Structures are given as C-alpha cells and as structure tokens.
A and B are shown apart, each in its own frame.
Chain A
C-alpha cells in the first residue's frame, strides 16, 4: 500500500473529517444493533427480551440464561450442550487441518512439480471449483444414506476443496524457483522441499485458507440438516435451529445459546482478521 491516501484527502478539511466520522458512526450503530441486541438479550431475563424498545435497556443483567441453557441441554433426549459444541469443534478441526494438508500438497504438485497429465488435472480442479456443494448435496445424501448420524461423513466431503487448492496454487506460483533449485542441489526430494521450505514460507496462504475454511465449516448447516437427526452427533448450528423452535420460546436462553455459538468464530476473527480479510480480498481481486 502506498503512503499517499487513496482519496488524496488534504489536511485542511476538519469539517469533512467530522462529517465522515458522523456518517460512519451512525451507520455503524445501526449495523451493530442486531449484535448489541443479541448480547444484551442473552444477559436479560427472558420476559424482558421481546419487550418493545425496552429490550435495549440493560436491566437485570445476569448470566442466568447461560447456566439455564447448559441445564436445559443436559439429557439424552435433548442432547448435551457441550457435546454439540464438541462435535462442531471436532468437525472444524478435522476439516481445517485435513484440508490444509491435502489441499496444499495438491496445489504444490499442480504448481511446482512436473508430471504427465498435470494440466488436465488442474483443469479438472478448476472445473470442480464451479460446482457448489449445494449441487451435490442431494446425490451425496442418497449415496451415503446408510451413514446418516455418523461423524466421519459430516467431515469427509469438505476436506478436499477445489477453492483451497486454487488459493494455495496462486500463492505457490509467486515463490521463485531458485529456492527449490537450491534445495534440490542439497539433495532434498519434493516432499522434504515442500515441508521444510515451501510450507514455512507460505504462512499467509495457510492462515487465510485455514480461517476461511473454519468460518465456512463452523456455520455449516445444509449437510447436517440432511444427515443428522440424532442429537448425539448434532453440530451447534443445527441445534440452534432445533432449540429456537421450542415452544414456548425462551428468548433469553435462545440468545445465550446464540452467543455461545458465535463466540468461537468471533475469537478467531478478532485474532486473525488481518489474514482473513487479506485472503478474501486478494483471491477475489486476482480471480
């Protein structure tokens, strides 16, 4: 990024600067209202959440809803809250780490190694990138119907990912070939070159692919809807849908559940947002 501001704004306009802040603050406030409502409501007694504009008043705040959710979801018939959370974390872990492994390796093979059929395979990957998961959900549901309510099938379809391969491929292409030549002269094979030299150099690519995969996986909903009916393997977002459908709705508890659902991604976002934003932006601008 250059040191000149993109808009080239001179210093002599304090009024305009003030207006910029004013417009931004108003917009940001409106935009943040649903989030404020979520967090505030999760801390209020249930009958004061859906209560007109006073739903925004911070009254009678406590963590009671959180303990109530953990109590409500604590039996075999309802499922266990920590189990929903555990399933989601486990699936995210498997899909992210497994995905980083196989997709980076695939991209390395497709971008830096020379072998017969490489171009054809890369074309295939680019073509498969056009196929959204939605268009294979129904046949997968039919093919793996006897695997419903088992854990592996919830993760397996998402590990190999054409878009991740593409992102790694784009990054690996920018690494100068001289680095690998030096490694080859030192007698390193492709595997060692990859793990000892390429991987450590490619932290930004790994970070942005990991974050993007984690976000997508954490909110994953369509596949669990089709494949899970048993609460013992139900991931959190699906349980969010089940829990909010209870009658009569206990709004305090539902919002507390919501906060617990979004907290892990918010934490990841807070710490790694630079990588995420860069990853999204660069892949899109270059794409």
Chain B
C-alpha cells in the first residue's frame, strides 16, 4: 500500500538529490556538445575561493544570511505579539485571526507585485507619497527596490507581511495549550501582566517558540519567488538581493551550468540540514509531547 508514494518519493526526491551531489563533482552544461567531465571539488572551489567567479555566490550567501538574521527574530517576535493579542475571548476575535492569516494564502508572485506598487520609486508610490504627506512635502521620491541599501529591507518587509500569519497560528495553538489555571494562580499572586508573560507564557511555549524560529530560519533560506519576480520586472537591485536559490536557478537556467548549480544546491541543502539538526537538539529537552 505504501508502494506508490514511496516510489514517487524515491524517483522525485531521493534519486535527484543523490544526482545533485554527483553532478556537483562534474563539469556539466546543458545543451553543450561536450561530454560531462569529472571535476572533483572544482565547482566548490570556484564557488568559495575563485576571485573571478565566487563574487555573486558569496554575495548571495551573505544576502541570505542577512535576510535570515533579520527575519527570524522579527517575524517570530511579531508573530508572538500577534498571537498573544489574539489569544483572547473577545467578540469577532476569529475575524481578526483570519485577517492576519490572510496574506499567507497569497501567492508570493502576487505579493511581490502589490509591494512593487507600494514601494514604487516615483513620487506617486504609496510609501513615498505617505512619507511626503507626513513630512509636509520634505520627502523626495526614493527608489526603495532599486537602491542597494533598501532593496533587501524591502524584500524583508514584504516577506514578513506575507508569512507572519503562519507563525502566528502555530504560536496561538501553543498558547492555547497553556492551562488557564496557571494564569488564575498568577492573578491571585498579583503577578503583573509582564510577570505573567515572563513566568507563565514564555516557559509554556518555549518548545513551540524554538520550533517556529527554526522553521522560519529554514524557510528564509528557501527565498526565491519574490526576488525573481521583482528583479525581472520591478527594478529590484539584483546584487543586493540575490539569494542562494536565486543563484542556483540563474546558474542552471541562464548559464546552463548544471554542475555549478548542483554544487550551490548541495551547499543550500547542508545549510538547511544544519538548521534542522540544531532545531532537533534544542527542542528535545523541553518538549514533553
């Protein structure tokens, strides 16, 4: 009974994954008349140390790291704040929960397009004209996506907007597993709201919080869609926002360099596995489930 799915997984995940490792040791190009030749670790050497070729890849790695380092605490913190606000028995609370969750169902290609308008560089762009209004006309037009300094920040903002509802829902479920009696006891002890948060809420969702943070860090290394859409049509600064996956796709697709793209893929996978292993290690002790 397990046959079809397991066969599918082996064919479309297991084999291609092993194949990626193999391809990364070859000089293989798509559509090239030359036979693939064994390359040893040359692809990796080029990615990391070649003065001419390693630039874009190292930049992608750095960009992706920046993205992760900002997004993980920002998005997890925001999701926790929202989850606590929404963990109430208020009228219409379900409506609020749905609202904050809604962007999660938006395809990233569309999210990128909406934010392309909000961040448009003309003085008619939504953000620019809002800043102009609050600064009484002192704000000139700024090219948020096209400027190397703000391009990554723009990608971060739109990604957090789209994704925070997902983490919020997980944290909300974690909060609801904390027994209400703990809060009642804390109230009797005249614990302040902050003390309740510090001594009841935080320990109660520690495991969930770590899980969410690690999930977010894995997801943040998979960033691709929004960068691709905005580079292709939105005037996004490519060098400031290229990510590891963006680099893999352009290397495979635009340069037909399958060997090098496979090496990037392997590096990507090692990062993701390292993060997952850290998560397992951190979550285990505190997780009673």
List residues of chain A with CB under 8 Å of any chain B CB.
1-2, 4-10, 17, 20-21, 23-24, 27-28, 31-32, 34-35, 37-38, 41, 49-53, 55, 101-103, 105-110, 113, 121, 124-125, 128, 130-132, 134-143, 145, 156-157, 159-162, 165, 190-191, 194, 215, 218-219, 221-222, 225-226, 236-238, 240-241, 244-245, 249, 251, 254-255, 258, 261-262, 265-266, 268-269, 273, 277, 280-282, 284-287
Contact = CB atoms under 8 A, between A and B. Distances in A.
B161 A103 contact: no
A102 B268 contact: no
Given A101-B4, A221-B109, 8 more contacts: A53-B130, A121-B6, A132-B269, A138-B20, A138-B252, A262-B105, A269-B98, A269-B102
Contact of A265 (B89, B107, B234, B266): B107
Given A215-B105, A277-B169, A7 B183 contact: yes
Contacts, number: 302
Chain B, interface SS category: helix
A35 B233 contact: no
B154 interface: no
B1 A225 contact: no
Contact of A132 (B90, B107, B222, B262): B222
A232 B180 CA distance: 56
A105 B113 contact: no
A225 B249 CA distance: 9
Contacts of B116: 244
A226 B276 contact: no
Interface stretch (B41-49, B65-73, B120-128, B143-151): B120-128
Closest 6 CB pairs of A and B: A160-B8, A245-B233, A281-B173, A52-B129, A219-B107, A109-B2
A234 to B, nearest CB: 12
A138 B88 contact: no
Contacts of B9: 124-125, 128, 160-162
B53 interface: no
B229 A284 contact: no
A162 B6 CA distance: 9
Nearest to B260: A138
Interface residues of B, number: 105
A106 B1 contact: yes
Most chain A CB within 10 A, of B87, B183, B211, B264, is at: B183
Interface string B89-106: 110000011111111111
B240 to A, nearest CB: 20
B272 A132 contact: yes
A6 B126 contact: no
Nearest to B92: A21
Interface of B: 1-9, 12-14, 16-17, 19-20, 23, 28, 30, 82, 85-90, 96-111, 113-118, 120, 122-126, 129-130, 132-133, 161, 166, 169-170, 172-181, 183-184, 187, 208, 211-212, 215, 218, 222, 224-225, 228-229, 232-234, 245, 248-249, 252-253, 258, 261-262, 264-266, 268-269, 272-273, 276, 289
B170 A284 contact: yes
B4 to A, nearest CB: 4
Contacts of B125: 50, 52
A160 B233 contact: no
B90 A21 contact: yes
A125 B166 CA distance: 24
Contacts of A131: 13, 17, 269
B12 A130 contact: no
Nearest to A277: B169
A50 B99 contact: no
